[in-house]
């Protein structure tokens, strides 16, 4: 079972990294530092449907798979943290269904507002979920060493949401740092479960 947690984490990490890199190469003027990941699938983008259904939706499913498999290794009281973490999967599936407007504005069409709502729910859920899972990990011999880093990453994700709520020339970089923290943590937990403390 631990190996499957690691496999799900690696799949999620690859889906979080490779498609944005690939589709960004096909968008002249796109910047990983300035532009959000959602802009790759924005309304009217040449690859919008491919980004939605070959990148965002599968990534959401991979996050759900990871949370479900990790739940099989954790006590019942980890449910709240896992449900919160799985909200990140909701945000990716939501991004596929509700693409943002061009430029990923804070306001815009109803579809853009839904996109922003699911994104906020996803990142808030990931941050709060990591904090909750950090508390759960404190009582587990196999994962207690990761308790503090898990909680700290959760707080970092929540701080990152605050930074993302402002126009910034490093908005894309901020989002990628949040994503690197969450997906890197998933892989770390998978490796930890397979190799042991």
pLDDT of residue 196: 77
Span 143-171, average pLDDT: 92
pTM for the predicted model, two decimal places: 0.94
- Asked if pLDDT for residue 189 goes beyond 80, the answer is yes
What pLDDT score was predicted for residue 167? 82
Query: Would you state the pLDDT for residue 114?
Result: 97
Domain that holds residue 158: 2-195
- What is the spatial distance between Cα 40 and Cα 27, in angstroms, rounded to a whole number? 8
Residues 6 or more apart from 153 whose CB is under 8 A from it?
Answer: 130, 181, 182, 185
Looking at per-residue pLDDT, the higher value among 58 and 168 belongs to: 58
SS3 labels along the chain: CHHHHHHHHHHHHHHHHHHHHHHHHCCCCCCCCCCCHHHHHCCCCCCHHHHHHHHHHHHHHHHHHHHHHHHCCCCHHHHHHHHHHHHHHHHHHHHHHCCCCCCCCCCCCHHHHHHHHHHHHHHHHHHHHHHHHHHHHHCCCCCHHHHHHHHHHHHHHHHHHHHHCCCCCCHHHHHHHHHHHHHHHHHHHHHHHHHCC
Count of structural domains within the chain: 1
pLDDT at residue 168 in the model? 86
pLDDT of residue 197: 58
Which whole number is the average pLDDT over 145-172?
93
- Residue owning tokens 């498999």: 69
Mean pLDDT of 90-116: 95
């Amino acid at each position: 079972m631990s190996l499957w947690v690691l496999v799900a984490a690696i799949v999620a990490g690859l889906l979080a990294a490779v498609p944005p890199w690939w589709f960004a190469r096909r968008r002249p003027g796109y910047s990983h530092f300035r532009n959000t990941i959602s802009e790759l699938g924005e309304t009217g983008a040449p690859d919008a449907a491919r980004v939605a259904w070959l990148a965002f939706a599968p990534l959401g499913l991979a996050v759900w798979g990871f949370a479900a498999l990790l739940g099989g290794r954790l006590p019942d009281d980890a449910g709240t943290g896992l449900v919160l973490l799985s909200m990140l999967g909701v945000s990716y599936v939501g991004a596929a269904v509700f693409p943002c407007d061009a430029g990923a504005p804070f306001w815009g069409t109803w579809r853009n507002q839904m996109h922003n709502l699911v994104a906020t729910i996803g990142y808030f859920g990931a941050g709060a979920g990591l904090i909750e899972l950090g508390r759960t990990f404190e009582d587990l011999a196999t994962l207690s060493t990761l308790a503090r880093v898990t909680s700290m990453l959760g707080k970092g994700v929540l701080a990152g949401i605050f930074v993302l709520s402002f126009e910034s020339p490093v908005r894309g970089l901020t989002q990628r740092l949040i994503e690197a923290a969450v997906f890197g943590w998933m892989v770390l937990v998978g490796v930890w479960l397979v190799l042991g403390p």
